[in-house]
Structure 1
């Protein structure tokens, strides 16, 4: 019989609806039940594409004996970290402070007042590698609660006090970073750069999307060859490695080794949106054919594999799937053996494909299977034959059992996808991609945004969930809307972005200019989460600074620009010390140092001369460039003040290059516009 999770909208929670564990969703009722029964709370946090979450569920939460013990001694609460990042952040901070590490599934034991007192991540069903079994942990916690209640209360109280005493250590409200601090960040990245394999640090390696954006912008502003070299080497290594799906496009979440060979196979919307934009920007900077192909492959993957029926984008594809032999295994959908190649391609083409994709008899993964790579960048191949091989392999793979998809639409991650698809579509003359971005933006306005400019974080099947948006949702959706307006010339997206950013200033900011991850009227937790550092996505703090800066450039709003500058004070403090963890903040700081430049393109949208000026502006590499497109005396000028009082030039379409709303003489010549944007 289904438990209480059967009524939830999160696909992750629904995966546990048939567990024998008597799960509760996070709710006041769950903690009231713990108080009534005088038992502790087991908080289990995970997400639908998490491999070890599935493992622990199969081993423990689907086990009748374990479930019976849990139901007798605990109130069990299940949380989807993608739906409630605030809960995840608060308790993950406690886990990391207590144990020095974290991860998912996150397992935390709480008092009925939601105060944590014992922590862990994955626990096996039997003792293993020095870890206690999950049953041993449950029995130990239950005994402590029964026999040493006062000690448990003291531990919980001390943990909550310690969390409360951990204010943001970085400078808040100070000056944004100057050129010297950004150069120091570059030097720190150079020291951590893996010159042999690309990327930064050792295994596991995550795609450093936000750092790559900073390096590209730094290269444009300063001419630094070192910055561009790090981007080029890292992007090529990832594109040729197993982390990149060589058949279907898109990227896995991370590489378990330091050479990008073996990925953790789950595919996340946010990674692919961020990387699509990075490769498109790398093409814009260098003209790289590889960057162009990867940007388009990733965009096509997003639309083909992640788009929902309502026009939004799903959260993730699972790492695991059925291997055709009744086993649920990680990577089963993606890996190949030489024998499988021969079955699909025949002997001659199988030999070529194995050489081309690095598939060996020994294998690079498990049980003799290989992850496809492109290990040799210099090889001469028959392009038509390889294209035919790819097509046949992709068709054969499509007949395999597919990984599960988390259809939950997350507002902030869709904002990232909107920005990536709008820009990629504009750069490569793909109006279908721009339309996909527009459809997703329409869904966010219709389903996620209420009349008071408040966002719901998630939706499923076109129905909004009941959880409030967090800072990253407001910031990344605003970023997506602003990018979409720059590409389409539809000023209404600037209006929507402004409404969201006003909410940020009113609800997410304190008097010193510091930003919080939750609104001031959000549910009260044991600590109000606040983290300016990037994780898998840009921090809400840095993303808000970037969107505020672009909005100010389009509207001339001093309050929005001042808020962006104050927010960037944290980048001055952290950037030179920990640039890998505040890459997006560094990228925004580059835009601030550069102006940013503003371009108003005025002319009929269907005029080829207008389109050429507009395309020239979009292809400029200026960091954080703000672009507005409108017709003379159109309503768009009211929505985008940068367009106001910008007449045609002798009856011809014109482009105005400005900084701080102070503009050069207009031009109708795309080459002159490009020269103006090359700047100093």
Structure 2
């Protein structure tokens, strides 16, 4: 099936068909990875793919395939060349010939000629399998305190003392790294929040831009993705929880406003809002301008993250945004979940059973169980966790990113470190909420599968290190009276963002870590005192 997407190229949709056509015709595949929020993707469409001579060249010498990376995350993870748009050339078997990001007309023309010449000379022998999918051997090891200690060292070593954040080139906000720093290296965590707040937060419309191109947080890429806004909402909530800084609360609240207005579809959270020059206008000029396009697609993983973040913010502020989390989770459970098996989005070409969807939706459900009460959330959380363990867990304990099947290299599984850590984190929460040790075992197995390489991990793996610390020390669990009571509210506000609050039919509260249980607390002050007295890492 071919289609035109505002260009002169007759594109095929991702699937077996274009690869079969390429095999029969003896042509390479040109795969264009794009996103609905990507300004440079639009520019390449306008400048390169709308050039009649280039479009004709592509049609004659290649089989062109266009992929929306938000809708096809497994394709994105296997073929991304470092940003979007990605232009990657493949053999009919899906192996990589070459690739680049944005290509203007002259650059694309040169690359097309080069690839065609190489193909004519070498054919499929020029293809290669990316290293990330060429080996399934994982560096297993023991979960120890050394993993978190190493990451704390990395947080300090890679920190930019002059401008905040980590790295010396483009600056990404790295929300999970911020959260680990807030707990273990407070000054670097708050300095990064301050930089993100100053340079990436849209003070007029709310929400965060994706990243900045320069070390000084300059030249921001102004697309707004719901998953990244949810992660930063969680980070600013954590900052407020630990410091009481009202600016962090206000920024988090404005982010909630953005998610529940601009990014709200009426049923759940949308996928993204596109980058645009609109964001460079003065406030009075924005009043007259049309806001950038919002992709209304409801993705399971992004809604799980948004629901979790809104529940966490409501836990420390009583903000009404939690009702949007509840509505989004109900919508996703009704439309995208079948007996624990999660569909990425509502569409005939949607994949099912993706690890990210299971992990992030599970995190949203366990957060809702803690903040809103367990009724209605624990049972679907169990079925989603069980489905992931049954279908995606491997013999060594790690989780695959999805079922190993499909066109191109989709039949080769990936074992993403970050998403394994997210699943482990959610499973530890579920274990505390249900008392079922099998979820602890599954979490520890997933984390152990990568532990042999911890000393080679940089700050981007902070979420993994934090998950290992939770598994090693065991999370702080607080058992409280039902939702709405003073003791439940006090437990949610304990200054430990990794705790698990379990609302029960009881009159007092206890805090538990490992084998130590505090004496029952009858008042919030008693709970705070006794929870602080427990054994800490």
TM superposition score normalised by structure 2: 0.93
SS in 1 for 2:331: helix
Which runs of 5 or more residues in structure 1 are unaligned? 6-15, 96-101, 127-132, 220-226, 321-331, 341-392, 534-538, 633-647
Partners of 1:25 and 1:78 within 8 A in 2: yes
1:130-209 maps to which residues of 2 (within 5 A)? 133-145=107-119, 147-148=120-121, 151-156=122-127, 159-160=128-129, 165-169=134-138, 171-172=139-140, 174-178=141-145, 180-209=146-175
- What residue number does 2:250 align with? 293
SS in 1 for 2:105: coil
State the distance in 1 between where 2:493 and 2:348 align.
36
Deviation readout 1:252-275 (Å, 9 max, x if unpaired): 001122222431111111121011
- What residue number does 1:675 align with? 529
Which runs of 5 or more residues in structure 2 are unaligned? none
The alignment status of 1:470 with 2:354, answered yes or no, reads yes
- What residue number does 1:448 align with? 336
Q: Number of residue pairs matched?
A: 534
- What residue number does 1:509 align with? 393
State the distance in 1 between where 2:340 and 2:348 align.
14
- What residue number does 2:498 align with? 624
Deviation readout 1:451-482 (Å, 9 max, x if unpaired): x32111123xxx57522242111101100110
Change (3 A) 1:258 1:551: same
SS in 2 for 1:305: coil
State the distance in 2 between where 1:430 and 1:315 align.
23
1:239-250 maps to which residues of 2 (within 5 A)? 239-241=197-199, 243-250=200-207
State the distance in 2 between where 1:522 and 1:668 align.
57
* 1:623, distance to aligned residue in structure 2 (A): 5.0
Match of residue 334, structure 1, among 279, 296, 318: 279
1:61-80 maps to which residues of 2 (within 5 A)? 61-80=49-68
Partners of 1:550 and 1:626 within 8 A in 2: yes
Name which one, 1 or 2, has greater alpha-carbon Rg.
1
State the distance in 2 between where 1:405 and 1:315 align.
8
* 1:417, distance to aligned residue in structure 2 (A): 0.5
More off after superposition, 46-55 vs 256-265: 256-265
Partners of 1:513 and 1:567 within 8 A in 2: yes
Change (3 A) 1:291 1:594: farther
State the distance in 1 between where 2:473 and 2:269 align.
33
SS in 2 for 1:117: strand
- What residue number does 1:223 align with? none
State the distance in 2 between where 1:523 and 1:165 align.
16
Match of residue 485, structure 2, among 594, 603, 611: 611
- What residue number does 1:104 align with? 84
State the distance in 2 between where 1:17 and 1:499 align.
39
Change (3 A) 1:464 1:30: closer
- What residue number does 1:367 align with? none
SS in 1 for 2:279: coil
More off after superposition, 102-111 vs 30-39: 30-39
- What residue number does 2:102 align with? 122
SS in 2 for 1:118: strand
- What residue number does 1:318 align with? 274
Change (3 A) 1:522 1:154: closer
SS in 1 for 2:509: strand
**CA RMSD between the two structures:** 2.3
Partners of 1:90 and 1:529 within 8 A in 2: no
Match of residue 29, structure 1, among 17, 29, 32: 17
* 1:291, distance to aligned residue in structure 2 (A): 0.9
- What residue number does 1:565 align with? 444
Change (3 A) 1:197 1:213: same
